[in-house]
Amino acid sequence: MSFRENILTASVDANPTVPASSDEDREAFRRFAAWGLRALGADVRRINGRLEALLPSPQNVDVRRSRAGDQRPEWLRSPTPSSLAVALDTDTNDADAVDAPPSPQTLTPRSPQTEWIAERLHSLGTAINGVPARQPASAGEIAERLLPAYRIEDGRIRLSGCSLEDRAFFRIYARSPAGSRPQRFVEWTIDADGRRVDAHVAAPLGLDDIAPMTGRPPDLRASAVAELTNLAEQGATAAHGPLEIVGAALLWCKWAAGRIRIEFPTTCTEIRFSDWAATLEPPPFVCPETDVQSHAIGITDDGRIAALEEIAVCKETNRRTLRRELVACSTSGVLALAELVEACPITERPVLRRLLATCGTCGEQISPAAVADGQCQACRSLAVALPSDPRIARVLGEYPALDGWRKWRIAETSRCYVLVGTRLFKRLLVVLDRATLEPRRVATGGRLRKTWTIVPPEQWSFELGQREST
């Protein structure tokens, strides 16, 4: 309840001469009058709480010729719309209205006009068929309502297999018996199972504005109508005390069910919908690849339909694929297929493979961000390793022949160890895979020179000796 409504309720409750429900009752009666007059063939419009009603004169010439044949009451016999006020019988007890005679243009639940409407409605049947004045009533209208919500890239969208089924609600209009106080006027709506339908449900379905049904209504057994009447009367009476029914309506709302078909040149998909036509909203597409819900849909180059926001283009290959399969290169910012990108063993950030730099010392592929003067950060930061260093112990355990080298210095990346050992006049560079200790590069150099001579793989065993585990 909003702040304003709170205030309104409070002020109404504070005035003991006005029942808290009078606004509700007046609105229920106004709807009854509008519905009833429409059901009797009148054109009715609501204007600022009043009703403008025009009941055409009988079409049959013989009837028109004799004035007695025109059964329209005086207050509806005008060739122009009659402006009718709607009030409650208790309203006339208001101090300012007590001396005013009831106007023939004012309808109240017990006025002669209401008696005339109720009698005429009764002569039409026990329950009169009606439909919401505004609800989509064709597949075309459903398509208009749903399809514009979607954005399809490189494909088409259309409605397929839309069915519209009439489902019944039942409503009675009822008033308190004559002489009882307070006088109530009640609109009571139930669904086909007899459950109460309150205004929060009824209004979105268009049940607050009912038009006569054109065309043939769905079949409903008389016993079913009688049962619904009983259920509605019981419910309304339990809530509001003794009541007498002045009108009953079978209200037919469209239930829409079907499929939205999305077609791409090589494949297609469907979205199912099922809801009241009046409140039907475009259901989101649930991306089968990512579970993302979206109204924008596209297709990858390899034919996977996905939420459009989950699709992106590899800037290296121009392939459209899932965003999650692309990686942003930390060097160039370019979004590219994961297979074109490698994690730098030093920065551990992804870099396009074609942008990786080769370290002149260890020969590893490194992010340009971690290379300076042709050397990677690891090779530039070799640190003296104590004999107790477990890494050295592990390497010497695997390659006992290396024990002949002294003054080990070491650096490591996420991928490998870089080791440099020294002898009298010689240095040895060994790059080993961290996990397997497989050699990746071996080089030798003079003790006083900075340059390295790369040892070809076939001579590695000569430099490293026999590996212990092989």
Rule CB under 5 A: which residues touch Zn ion?
Answer: 359, 361-362, 376, 379
The dihedral sign for the CA sequence 336, 338, 341, 347: positive
Least Å from the CB of residue 361 to Zn ion: 4
Complex with Zn ion: residue 37 or 379, whichever CB lies closer? 379
Least Å from the CB of residue 439 to Zn ion: 15
- In 3D space, the residue among 185, 164, 161 whose CA is nearest the CA of residue 236 turns out to be 185
Complex with Zn ion: residue 90 or 331, whichever CB lies closer? 331
Q: Which residues contact 270 (CB under 8 A, 6 or more apart)?
A: 160, 259, 260, 261, 262
Least Å from the CB of residue 312 to Zn ion: 34
Complex with Zn ion: residue 82 or 367, whichever CB lies closer? 367
Least Å from the CB of residue 379 to Zn ion: 3
Least Å from the CB of residue 382 to Zn ion: 9
Complex with Zn ion: residue 90 or 361, whichever CB lies closer? 361
CB-CB contact of 51 with 86 (8 Å) = yes
The Cα-based distances of 269 to 141, 158, 286, 311, 324 in angstroms read 22, 11, 11, 17, 21
Query: Given its phi and psi angles, is residue 25 left (phi above 0), alpha (psi -120 to 50 degrees) or beta?
Result: alpha
CB-CB contact of 386 with 380 (8 Å) = no
Complex with Zn ion: residue 106 or 361, whichever CB lies closer? 361
Residue 152 identity (one-letter amino acid): I
Complex with Zn ion: residue 222 or 454, whichever CB lies closer? 454
Q: Determine the Cα–Cα distance for residues 343 and 329; give it in Å rounded to an integer.
A: 9
CB-CB contact of 187 with 28 (8 Å) = yes
Least Å from the CB of residue 358 to Zn ion: 9
Least Å from the CB of residue 418 to Zn ion: 6
Q: Determine the Cα–Cα distance for residues 464 and 470; give it in Å rounded to an integer.
A: 13
Complex with Zn ion: residue 251 or 357, whichever CB lies closer? 357
Complex with Zn ion: residue 116 or 417, whichever CB lies closer? 417
Complex with Zn ion: residue 262 or 371, whichever CB lies closer? 371
Complex with Zn ion: residue 231 or 362, whichever CB lies closer? 362
Complex with Zn ion: residue 289 or 412, whichever CB lies closer? 412
The Cα-based distances of 341 to 313, 336, 384 in angstroms read 15, 7, 33
Least Å from the CB of residue 315 to Zn ion: 29
Please provide residue 288's backbone torsions phi and psi, each rounded to the nearest 5 degrees. -70, -15
Residue 251 identity (one-letter amino acid): L
Least Å from the CB of residue 364 to Zn ion: 5
Complex with Zn ion: residue 362 or 464, whichever CB lies closer? 362
Least Å from the CB of residue 356 to Zn ion: 12
Least Å from the CB of residue 289 to Zn ion: 40
Least Å from the CB of residue 311 to Zn ion: 39
